[in-house]
């Protein structure tokens, strides 16, 4: 296995986490499914591509920004991870308190061009401060202390998140009508997503805090 990749157990944990997060409703899912229902699949894919571009940019910023911080001060990097643990714990509590952020409206809307919808998708993730905090706190949890390839590892994990998530989201767009109806009538499943995501966030937070105790 290449030196810049985590061990198999860490990669497996990352893959599971990425899948849970992909299927947990949020603003980007609301946008690309909403556009699919109101303006067709092409509009849905435009929104998805924009959202994915925003995540790639965040991946680059997290990878090279955090690697610079680690090179400058391993202690500061440790502080970032602890702050990240507290943020993930807050996300777990907030998810259980307020539930999933999926609201779909299938009423017809004025049609927009591809670039306009792409820009909306880009803005949803690129300008969302929660996404910034999430990438800075989520990806480092899969990095080993003293990793000499930290920037490459962070970048590869970020792209891996996309490689796992994009096909899943594309499948959601192709089955948007059925998925929308399923979500609307299955509140128990939606709550299950909330608990799965909260458990994931909480377990990461506990792991980090116990490791540093």
- Tens-place pLDDT, residues 14-30: 888 888 878 877 778 87
- Residue 106 clears pLDDT 60, i.e. is over it: no
pLDDT of res. 8:
82
Instruction: Provide the percentage of residues in the chain whose pLDDT is more than 90.
Output: 10
CA distance 151 to 165: 21
What is the sign, positive or negative, of the torsion defined by CA atoms of 188, 193, 197, 200? positive
Task: Check: CB of residue 41 under 8 Å from CB of residue 174.
Answer: yes
- Quote the pTM value: 0.72
Per-residue pLDDT tens for 31-82? 888 788 778 889 999 999 999 998 888 888 877 776 566 556 667 667 766 7
Instruction: Provide the percentage of residues in the chain whose pLDDT is more than 70.
Output: 69
pLDDT of res. 185:
66
Q: Select the more confidently predicted residue: 108 or 164.
A: 164
pLDDT of res. 31:
80
**Of 7-11, 35-39, 86-90, 165-169, which has the strongest mean pLDDT?**
165-169
Mean pLDDT of 90-111: 63
Q: Select the more confidently predicted residue: 74 or 122.
A: 122
Look up residue 193 and give its two tokens: 């997503």
Degrees, nearest 5: CA angle 19-206-18: 10
């Amino acid at each position: 296995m290449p030196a810049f990749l985590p061990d198999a157990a860490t990669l497996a944990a990352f893959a599971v986490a990425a899948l849970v997060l992909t299927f947990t409703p949020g603003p980007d899912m609301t946008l690309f499914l909403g556009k699919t229902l109101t303006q067709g699949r092409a509009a849905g894919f435009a929104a998805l591509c924009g959202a994915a571009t925003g995540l790639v940019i965040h991946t680059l910023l997290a990878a090279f920004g955090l690697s610079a911080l680690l090179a400058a001060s391993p202690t500061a990097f440790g502080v970032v991870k602890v702050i990240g643990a507290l943020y993930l714990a807050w996300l777990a509590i907030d998810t259980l308190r307020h539930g999933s952020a999926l609201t779909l409206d299938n009423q017809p809307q004025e049609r927009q061009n591809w670039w306009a919808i792409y820009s909306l998708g880009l803005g949803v993730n690129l300008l969302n401060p929660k996404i910034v905090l999430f990438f800075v706190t989520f990806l480092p949890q899969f990095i080993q202390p003293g990793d000499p390839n930290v920037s490459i590892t962070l970048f590869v994990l970020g792209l891996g998140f996309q490689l796992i998530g994009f096909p899943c989201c594309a499948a959601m767009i192709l089955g948007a009508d059925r998925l929308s109806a399923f979500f609307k009538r299955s509140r128990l499943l939606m709550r299950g997503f909330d608990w799965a995501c909260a458990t994931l966030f909480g377990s990461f937070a506990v792991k980090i805090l116990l490791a540093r105790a």
